[in-house]
Amino acid sequence: MREIIFDTETTGFDPKTGDRLVEIGCIELVDRRETGQTFHAYFNPERDMPAAAEAVHGLSIQFLSDKPLFAERIDELMAFLGDAPLIAHNAVFDFGFVNAELARAGRPALDMARMCCTVQMARKLHPGAKHSLDALCTRYGIDRSHRVKHGALLDAELLAHLYIEMTGGRQIGLGLASSAAGSAAASPPSPVAARGHDRPFREPRPHMASAADLARHAAFVAGLNQPLWLDTV
């Protein structure tokens, strides 16, 4: 199953009031594993960059002024997204900005049915806890020490690790059935491989008490001096 983890950076909180998308980062997962395929782009927002937004992601208008417009890279982005489910943290926010840019370019909006929100997932898994990306990375032991400022591709990478952990962890891909490619790694290990070549084979030992064991136990119990359990009889 192919899925896309993505994150965006913007000039503010609301595309309806003129805020624009300035960065997008996407990570491809297949069967909950990162494939190494990514899409990353910066965009010229054609407007100023509020100081509050720049303090979050560090993207100045000087840096973005020579970057392409969103419309110039739509085809590349849509080709990468394909028809895969789209996972984001606080996904309504990210979908809102991407769809606003698509509308501005005269393109169809992303279908909201494709949306998977990891904030909503976290609320169900950990009610009452903090659900920020930082807090969840701490909860799941995901290293975020290199995250000094927000960045779309960096945050998408962290979210990919988080999503994998929230949906069962790395072990979800470990099955005993053979893979479609017939991988030998998916087959159960042989008894020799499992115990190692340097260990001698020993037959399984029986664990049921023999008649002689039961007789010795009965004789031992009969010889006890005033056992406590007789007080309840």
Q: Where are the domains of the chain?
A: 2-172
Three-state SS at 70: helix
Binding-site residues for substrate, in ranges, read: 7, 9, 57, 155
Specify the higher pLDDT residue, 102 or 225.
102
For residue 179, what are its two tokens?
């893979």
Is 150 marked active-site?
yes
Q: 122: burial class by Cβ within 10 Å (0-12, 13-18, 19+)?
A: buried
Binding-site residues for a divalent metal cation, in ranges, read: 7, 9, 155
195 pLDDT exceeds 60? no
Task: Tell me the pLDDT tens digit for each residue of 165-191.
Answer: 999 886 544 444 344 344 434 444 444
- Please give the Cα distance from 160 to 35 (Å, whole number): 11
Binding-site residues, in ranges, read: 7, 9, 57, 155
The single residue listed with the structure tokens 């069967």 is 31
From the candidate CATH numbers 3.30.420.10, 3.20.20.60, 3.40.1080.20, 1.10.10.10, the one assigned to the domain spanning 2-172: 3.30.420.10
Catalytic residue among 89, 150, 197, 207: 150
Task: Tell me the pLDDT tens digit for each residue of 56-113.
Answer: 999 999 999 999 999 999 999 999 999 999 999 999 999 999 999 999 999 999 999 9
Q: 98: burial class by Cβ within 10 Å (0-12, 13-18, 19+)?
A: buried
